[in-house]
Structure 1
């Protein structure tokens, strides 16, 4: 349900999924629909991966943007997101903002928070991969393009460092 009033970055909350575990169903659903359902994976496979974010380990973790109890979006930090670059770690991954909430600031806020939280685990660099069409979005947020045309999807690999 979309709230009646305007939803802006100022009136959303970004929480660790561990603090709002009831939103794990929404996280799994959106991530599954965006990337895994088209590839033929069952929802339960992704639900299991999302439950891994609820442990006390530093990685993986998921952040959830919400407006009260309404799911807005998510971003995760995981050990590895690109089989072609297994030595890069950690990664910000599974960035998703529900379409009614795609407006300036919300996606950037959750990506920024996920990157800083990943750096707080002791990493000096955080990685992210995306289709070239998303290049400008990540560069405006301060990510640096590290590589282009990686893997069979032709992804860009970005880095983010403290500073």
Structure 2
């Protein structure tokens, strides 16, 4: 699997927008994903960025580094979002590879930590993420948030 930044491969933007939106969007917000991805990688700190994992010319996984995952902790960034592995490709450590890549990319961009929010139980702990508390959405609901030090991994 190759992991690539969508903004560095303009020919992939259309299919990447479609893939992200199908996994994470709804009927009303296709334009939200499209506009985010068209403008990704252009700011001074490089955020937001969208990544796809590709195997045999097919997108099989995704993640994004974003400024905020629409939660109350506006003071923390960047956030890992949209981690997804196609069901036919699960069980092959692709999620782990995408998480490692995200940490490396955050470090390359100069960030000391990476954050995420999730309602999954036990998944991110397996990869060294620390449950650091709760964040709140605009609807007032709480969700767990995690953090991990960003540093180049040594394999």
Q: Distance in 2 between matches of 1:157 and 1:21?
A: 32
TM-score, with structure 1 as normaliser: 0.79
Tell me the CA shift for residue 118 of structure 1: 1.2
SS of residue paired to 1:126: strand
Residue 18 of structure 2 is aligned to residue 32 of structure 1: no
Aligned counterpart for 1:42 among listed residues 29, 38, 52: 29
Gap change, CA 1:24 and 1:96, over 3 Å in 2: farther
Q: Structure 1 runs of 4+ off > 6 angstroms?
A: none
- Paired residues, what number? 148
* Alignment RMSD: 2.1
- Structure 1: which 5+ residue stretches go unaligned? 1-11
1:24-55 CA deviation, whole Å, 9 max, x = no partner? 22332232223320xx4231221111112253
Match of 1:112 in 2: 100
Gap change, CA 1:137 and 1:32, over 3 Å in 2: same
Gap change, CA 1:98 and 1:25, over 3 Å in 2: farther
Q: Distance in 2 between matches of 1:117 and 1:104?
A: 21
SS of residue paired to 2:18: helix
